[in-house]
Every structure is written in C-alpha cells, then in structure tokens.
Amino acid sequence: MLRFTKREEMILLVIIITLVIGSGIIAVNYFTDKKSEKAFVADNTAKKSVESKEEKLEQKQQSEDKELDEILVQVGGEINQPGVYKLREGSRIFQLLDKAGGITSKADLDQMNLVKELKDGEKIIVPKEVTTEKKTAIQGDNQKKTEQDKINLNTATKNELQQLYRIGPALSDRIIEYRNQHGGFNKISELKEVSRIGEKIFQENKERLTVR
C-alpha cells in the first residue's frame, strides 16, 4: 500500500481539486455555449420570420397603394389626343388636358373648371367655342321664345288671362271688355286702366305681358 507524506498528500489534494474545478468550468462553458447557440439560432429564425412577414405586408401595402393612387379618365371633344388616360388620384382637369396633348384652337375653356378634381371612371368633354354669329342667333331665339311665352293683352282668351297673378274670372272679363271698348291695348301699362287692377297687380304681371 502506497503511503504519502503529508506534503505529497497536500499536493495530490490540490491537483484533484484543480481537476474537479477545471472539469466543472469546462462543463459549464460547454452547456452555456450550447444554450447560447440555441438561443441565437431561435432568435435569428424568429427575426427572419418577422422580417419576412413585414416584407410581405410592405409589398402588399405598396401594391394596394399603387392601385388606390391611380384613376382612369376619358377625355374627348376639342382635344388633340382624345382617349383614356391613367392619372394619379387627385389630379385636376388641366393635368388631364396637358397629358392628352392640349386643346384644339376651337376649344372654349371658359366653359370649364380647370382645377376640378377628377374621379375614377369620369368622362371629360372639352366644349367647342361658340361663334359670335351663333351666340347672337341663340340669344335672338331665346328672346323670341320668351316673347312668344308672354300673354298678349290684345289676343289672350279668358283662360289665358287667368294664368296671371290675381286675375280671376271677373277681372279677365273686365280686361276683355276694356279691350273691346278701346280697340285693344296700345301698351301693357294700360292694364292699370281696367277697373280693380292697381299698381301691385300690374307690377306682379308686367314681365309676363306683351302687346302686339
């Protein structure tokens, strides 16, 4: 049986303790590294998964935004390049006209609101300028039509006269009686000469009266 001196026993004990502590440190470091590696892998995987989801959401949002940001509008009339155009949402009429090559020399922009905001699916027609001769003709036709719509005191029937303000059967009879007695009306103001027709009734009706 081996026998050690006290000094040798102390040295051996120190060596054993050192080996045990060293082994423990190595084991702890090993398992700690494994745990850290697993945590790193799991964290990295989760991070990639989150980034992938965020990227997909961003791509989807960009695609939706692109669809929302674009509108289709048709333009015709006095425009150089009539057709259907794709514009950004919120675009104005003047931007559409510019994209369609501008207006023709016959266009009348005074009839348009150039800063009006366009809507998807809208159709814009650029009007043609009305010539002075045509404007005069239209005004003449309107005036003629207005004149024709007026009630002629010299030819109106009893029913027609009753269309006037505050003119009933009795007053319409008096108007016709006055007309027959005086050979007709020379001017609309003569209506005030008829009994029981005063200034108020005349003023209310004068725009609808004529004498021919």
Whose structure tokens read 């949402």?
89
User: What pTM value is reported for the model?
Assistant: 0.38
CA distance 210 to 212: 7
* Main-chain dihedrals φ then ψ at residue 167, nearest 5 degrees: -110, 110
- Chain-centroid distance of CA 55 in Å reads 32
Q: Which long-range contacts (CB under 8 A, 24 or more apart) does 132-137 make?
A: none
DSSP 92: B
Give which of 151, 139, 156 is closest to 204, Cα–Cα: 151
Please report, as a single letter, which amino acid is at residue 90: G
Reading the block at residue 180, the tokens are: 């027959």
- Residue 82: the pLDDT is 95
Q: Is 10 helix (H, G, I), strand (E, B) or coil?
A: helix
CA 76/CA 93 separation, integer angstroms: 12
Cα gap 188→144, rounded to integer Å: 18
Please give the single-letter amino acid code of residue 30: Y
What does the pLDDT profile of the chain (212 residues) look like in tens digits? Answer: 556 677 777 887 778 888 878 777 877 676 666 666 665 555 566 566 656 777 777 776 666 555 558 999 999 999 999 999 999 999 999 999 999 999 999 999 999 999 999 999 999 999 998 776 655 655 655 565 577 789 999 999 999 999 999 999 999 999 999 999 988 999 999 999 999 999 999 999 999 999 98
